[in-house]
Structure formats: structure tokens, C-alpha cells
């Protein structure tokens, strides 16, 4: 047997498949990618959760009075049992508060499961909860929509000032500019964002983040005043509001 055939046979015995090139190693040295590993974990968790087969996945379950029947809640309780902190229903809209460290994994689970299929990120923003609660100060909000099921879901992750939250750019490219806007306006740090910098204000802006509720109306610096002397008098308009 030649050296090439011997190496091919060795790869077949070690990995179960004939390798034609170097293995695609991810963090941790595993030949599988992180995406494959997560998919395998999801299948294993689902195999250990037979209650998913008995759950109600109909569209009516999304609006049931019992919030525990909501398909997204059922799925997260089975696959990520420690993720949910609170569930709120207001004006027929459901909001799920999750742990910030599991924020991305929650959205990934809701996106990839074919029964829930929250596959469209319609919006991503933040809310400053200053003077409304002590901690956490900010809510990072992801607005998800299921194209197959035609339902919406709001996912919130509460963080304190300076605390990072996982970026959703690895899941949806459309989250890129939305997270940059939240960083610019609120100072939210998104861990794993490929290009986290200001997008509305200049890169050298040094007056903080304008959408924070403790931000002064005219900024932190002295507001410049121009044209203190009027050169043209103000005239009353002749418009009477009657279309003449």
C-alpha cells in the first residue's frame, strides 16, 4: 500500500470519513464548527424533552391566557430552562425577559426551531429604565417575527451600565447597524459585534449618549448661541386658515 493510501485509510479509521484536506478546527480544537456543535446539542436536548411532542404548536397557543402554553415559552423551558426570568402579556403582545448571557442562544433557539421559526429580526433597540427600577438599568430589546406563523415576540435582556450583551450579528446581519445605533445612543456594548462604533454621531463625540434619560437637553457642554441680534423683524402671517 502506498503512503497516500495508508494516510487515507488512517483518516477513515480515525474520523469515519476520508479527509481531503486539513480539518476545520474551531475554538477548542474540535473538527466540527461551533454551529454544528450547537445543532448537535439542540438535538440531544430535544431528544431528552418528550414534552415538546405533546405541546400545542398552533397559532392560537401564542395568544392563550396561560402564558406557559406559548410555544416560545414551551421551547425555551425545555431547551434552556434557566434562560427565562419573566413573561409579560400586554395588549395581546408577549414579552420574554431572559438572562443577558443567554440572550443570543435564546434568539438562536427561537430562530432555528421549525415549529416556532422566529426567523425575522424586525428591530433591535434599547430602553433606559432610569428612575423606573434600581437594577438593571437598561433593557436590550429584540423584536422577532415568525414568517411561517405570522406572530411577533419581544425578547428583552436587562443589563447594567458597562455590562456587555452578546451581539445578534452572527444570527442576523441586519442587527449590525441596529446595534451600532444602540451603542451610539445608549452606550450598550455588544460582545462579538464586528464593527462596534458610532454611526449617527462623529467618532470623536465626547458628550456621552444622547438617549440616556440623564442626558441634558442641550448636552453636557455649554450651548453656543449665535445671531443674538435680529436684523429682520418678524412679520405676522396673513394666512387665516381658511385656504385664502
Domain range summary for the chain, segments of one domain joined by +? 32-161
Pairing, β 164-166 against β 151-159: unpaired
Residue 139's nearest CA partner among 95, 171, 176, 105 is 95
Which residue matches cell numbers 443674538?
Answer: 228
Run of H or E residues at 157? strand 151-159
Contact yes or no for 198/180 (Cβ under 8 A): yes
d(CA 198, CA 1): 61
Q: Give the pLDDT score at 221.
A: 73
Contact yes or no for 175/169 (Cβ under 8 A): yes
d(CA 186, CA 137): 11
6 — phi, psi (to 5°)? -65, -45
Contacts of 230 (CB under 8 A, 6+ apart): none
Q: pTM above the 0.85 mark?
A: no
In the structure grid, which three cell numbers stand for residue 234, read together?
Answer: 418678524
Provide the 10 A C-beta neighbour count for residue 57.
16
d(CA 96, CA 146): 15
Q: Give the pLDDT score at 31.
A: 46
- pLDDT per residue, tens digit, the chain (244 aa), is 444 444 444 443 444 433 333 444 433 444 455 556 555 555 555 554 566 777 788 999 999 999 999 999 999 999 999 999 999 999 989 999 999 999 999 999 999 999 999 999 999 999 999 999 999 999 999 999 999 999 999 999 999 999 999 999 999 999 999 999 999 999 999 999 999 999 999 888 888 899 999 888 777 777 666 666 656 665 665 655 555 4
Highest CATH level, class, for 32-161: alpha beta
Entry field: residues in the chain: 244
Amino acid at each position: 500500500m502506498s503512503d497516500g493510501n495508508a494516510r487515507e485509510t488512517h483518516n477513515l479509521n480515525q474520523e469515519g470519513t476520508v479527509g481531503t484536506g486539513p480539518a476545520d478546527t474551531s475554538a477548542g480544537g474540535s473538527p466540527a464548527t461551533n454551529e454544528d456543535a450547537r445543532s448537535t446539542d439542540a438535538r440531544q436536548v430535544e431528544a431528552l424533552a418528550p414534552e415538546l411532542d405533546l405541546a400545542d404548536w398552533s397559532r392560537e397557543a401564542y395568544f392563550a391566557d396561560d402564558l406557559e402554553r406559548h410555544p416560545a415559552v414551551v421551547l425555551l423551558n425545555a431547551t434552556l430552562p434557566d434562560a427565562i426570568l419573566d413573561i409579560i402579556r400586554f395588549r395581546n403582545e408577549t414579552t420574554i425577559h431572559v438572562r443577558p448571557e443567554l440572550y443570543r442562544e435564546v434568539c438562536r433557539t427561537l430562530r432555528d426551531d421549525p415549529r416556532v421559526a422566529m426567523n425575522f429580526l424586525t428591530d433591535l433597540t434599547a430602553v433606559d429604565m432610569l428612575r423606573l427600577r434600581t437594577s438593571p438599568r437598561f433593557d436590550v430589546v429584540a423584536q422577532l417575527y415568525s414568517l411561517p406563523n405570522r406572530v411577533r415576540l419581544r425578547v428583552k435582556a436587562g443589563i447594567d451600565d458597562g455590562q456587555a450583551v452578546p451581539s445578534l450579528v452572527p444570527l442576523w446581519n441586519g442587527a449590525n447597524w441596529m446595534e451600532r445605533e444602540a451603542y451610539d445612543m445608549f452606550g450598550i456594548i455588544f460582545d462579538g459585534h464586528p464593527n462596534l462604533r458610532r454611526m449617527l454621531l462623529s467618532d470623536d463625540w465626547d458628550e456621552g449618549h444622547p438617549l440616556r434619560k440623564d442626558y441634558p437637553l442641550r448636552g453636557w457642554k455649554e450651548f453656543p448661541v449665535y445671531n443674538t441680534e435680529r436684523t429682520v423683524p418678524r412679520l405676522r402671517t396673513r394666512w387665516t386658515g381658511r385656504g385664502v
